Amino acid sequence: MNIDEAIQLFEQNNAISIKDFNSNRLQCLKNKQFLDQYIGEDIFEKNIECWLDNFKEKDVFLKLLPNYIYVPEMIYGIQLDAILSRIEEKCNMGHKILEETYFITFPSKRGIKSGGDIIRALLPIGNLDCVKKEQLIVEVEKNKDSISKAKCIVFIDDVIGSGKTAKENICNFFKMNDIDLNGKKLFLVAMYAEETVKRELEKEFNGFEHELEVIVLYECKKCLSENYIFSKAEMEVSKSIIIRAEEEVAGKKVGEKKSYALGFENSQLLLSFFYNTPNNTLCIFWKPTKINFPLFTRSSFRRPSIEEIKLNRAIKRKNAYEMAKIDRTERQ
């Protein structure tokens, strides 16, 4: 597989066309394109080339790209609309139920932009006839009275990674004794979730006093699941190569405390949204180092320039050559 073929499969699997996007606002206006900081046609292919150049086993890493899930802003909005439709169906009360639904987003622990921020901004767009901004809540304590009057309560996020955030926030919600939940429909909804995490949450919530249904639009597989991206014959070698690269970029071993090697809590996702990349994704895709040029840099980092990366790689190669020369001299 070459880069062009990988991009074609990436486009096909994500139902997008790279030529429709540009990273430059003026070019978007001129060419009637969508603004995108990650997949603009002016940057995407050369960024892939720079990213791949860091790896000896380029074919292994290139094989990840067609299976990478990317969600531009327009598709993100369409998926929010799909979530509203699913809620209508589940409640069996038509469009009217949305007027009496409160959406609870999860706060960002580190104060950086989160899926909840984007959801609160975009969900009402196109749905102003049934969803007001007051129905989108991040601070439950300040909105107990409003929530008590709702007929439907929806905990919502764009991705459920390890499931810890969702579980913690929902458990804390149920510990509140001054919110009347009688007769209310309760849901946890997300665009994406790792399939085993979804099942674990369903099992966890099944023991609650009040029924809470989990709705996920798309269930994701761990990228190193057997016979998913790599065949059984390829798996041992490919997995070893990827883990080595992940641990080098993360600076920690897989499973080590606060390690992002193979994604937070070993989530093994391949997923980015137009506004950021969740840390559940393999860190080679989002964490810059002196020599790693990530395709989907997390917003908590500055994306390095290609020139910086090339210079750092050249310095590393030169240092390695000098060390090897010294070693040969000492052995003579």
Domains of the chain, first to last: 3-72+225-261+274-319 (no CATH), 73-220 (3.40.50)
Residue 292 has a pLDDT of 92
Report which of 13, 52, 53 is spatially closest to residue 228, judged by C-alpha positions: 13
Q: Residue 247's pLDDT is what?
A: 97
How high is the pLDDT of residue 202?
93
Distance between CA atoms of 131 and 175, rounded to whole angstroms? 27
pLDDT in tens, the chain (332 residues): 899 999 999 999 999 999 999 999 999 999 999 999 999 999 999 999 999 999 999 999 999 999 999 999 999 999 999 999 999 999 988 889 999 999 999 887 665 667 889 999 999 988 888 898 999 998 888 888 889 889 999 999 999 988 998 999 998 888 887 888 888 999 999 999 999 999 999 998 988 888 999 999 999 999 999 999 999 999 999 999 999 999 999 999 999 999 999 999 999 999 999 999 999 999 999 999 999 999 999 998 898 889 988 898 888 777 755 566 566 666 65
| CA-to-CA dists, residue 210 to 74, 152, 175, 184, angstroms | 35, 12, 12, 9
pLDDT of residue 329: 62
What whole-number distance in Å separates Cα of residue 142 and Cα of residue 133? 15
Helix, strand and coil content of the chain, in percent to the nearest 5, comes to 50, 15, 40
Strand pairing report for 101-105 and 136-137: parallel
Identity of residue 119? I
Which residues is 152 bridged to in the sheet?
101, 185
Contact call for residues 62 and 52 (beta carbons, < 8 A)? yes
- Compute the CA torsion angle 147, 148, 151, 155 (nearest 10 deg): 40
Give the pLDDT of residue 214: 95
Long-range contacts, stretch 241-244, CB < 8 angstroms, 24+ apart: 241/57, 241/60, 242/60, 242/61, 242/64, 242/282, 242/284
17/34 Cα distance (integer angstroms): 11
d(CA 221, CA 229): 10
What is the C-alpha separation between 241 and 51, in angstroms, rounded? 15
Tokens of 304: 């390095």
Handedness of CA 163, 164, 165, 169 (dihedral sign): positive
Q: Which helix (H) or strand (E) holds 186?
A: strand 185-194
Q: Which pLDDT value is given to residue 6?
A: 97
Place of tokens 């880069």: 3
List Cα–Cα distances, 155 to 91, 106, 140, 214, 309, in angstroms: 15, 8, 11, 9, 41
For residue 312, give every residue at least 6 positions away whose Cβ sits within 8 Å of its Cβ, in sequence order, or none: 290, 291
Q: How far apart are CA 156 and CA 80, in angstroms?
A: 10
What gap in Å lies between CA 2 and CA 16, rounded to an integer? 19
Instruction: State in Å, rounded, how far the first CA of the chain is from the last one.
Output: 44
Of 120, 82, 104, the residue nearest 187 (C-alpha): 104
User: What is d(CA 234, CA 212) in angstroms, rounded to the nearest whole number?
Assistant: 41
